[in-house]
Amino acid sequence: MRFDLTPTLRATLDLGYSTFEDFGTPEGVRETYSLNSTLRQDLRNGDITFRLGATETENGERYTFSTGRSLTTPLWDLSGSVGLTRDTGGDVSPDISLDVTRALPRGSLGASFSQRIASGVDDDEEQITSLRVSYDKQLNALTSFNASLSYSETDPTAAGSNTSSFGSVGVSLQRTLTEDLQLDLGFQHRVSEDTAGIRARDNRLSVSLRRDLSARR
């Protein structure tokens, strides 16, 4: 839900619900409820935000408060936030995000960092730290290039759980063949490891053709 309080001030309220089948519990399912509110004030060269979130899980309640600022200049796009999260165990952790994009001739260079507490795919609580760097370049009118490097670490807040890390490097090339047909080529190398000593690597090569279809009435 969105509420326009003034021409430059607005508030949003989001409700969330998710379930995860867990046959190790008597109920056989884990449920998560969330409520998130945001207050955003538009400024001349960006905005400032205040966020408050509450999440209820099978293990307890989690609360997050953060404030953020975005700034737009002719060459830079900057956005970041800082706050605190109280996890289901009662511990308080920082909630941080930073995103930087630099405009280049016919391209851009970007970097992002974040650290937060969130529910994982199985609804267990995790501290997730991630870092990403990307580069985009328009080689000519028909061809563009992208390269990216990313790393993430997931640390469950429950005692005795394994920490896992994941890294990847990838490159891709997009070529416009006709007005409505595009060829995409990509390669990605990925590495994952956890504290139990289990390591995995894989390489992925992708080739795809995309065609845009439009209907006129």
**What's the pLDDT tens digit per position in 164-192?**
899 999 999 999 998 889 999 999 999 99
For residue 64, pLDDT over 70 is answered with yes
pLDDT band at 113 (very low <50, low <70, confident <90, very high): very high
C-alpha 193/C-alpha 200 separation (Å) is 6
Give the residue from 157, 139, 17, 184 showing the smallest Cα distance to 89: 157
Q: How long, in residues, is the chain?
A: 217
pLDDT band at 150 (very low <50, low <70, confident <90, very high): very high
What is residue 91's DSSP assignment? Answer: -
For residue 24, pLDDT over 90 is answered with no
- Is the pTM above the cut of 0.85? no
For residue 145, pLDDT over 90 is answered with yes
How confident is the model over 205-217, as a mean pLDDT?
A: 79
58 φ/ψ sector (left φ>0, alpha ψ -120 to 50, else beta): alpha
Query: Is 62 exposed, middle or buried, given 0-12, 13-18 or 19+ CB atoms closer than 10 A?
Result: buried
Cβ–Cβ < 8 Å for 85, 63: yes
Give the residue from 95, 72, 94, 70 showing the smallest Cα distance to 80: 70
pLDDT band at 160 (very low <50, low <70, confident <90, very high): low
Non-local (6+) Cβ contacts of 127 within 8 A are: 93, 115, 116, 117, 154, 155, 156, 157
Residue-level pLDDT at 89: 84
Four-way CATH pick for 2-211: 3.90.1150.10, 2.40.170.10, 3.30.70.270, 1.10.600.10? 2.40.170.10
For residue 123, pLDDT over 70 is answered with no
pLDDT band at 159 (very low <50, low <70, confident <90, very high): low
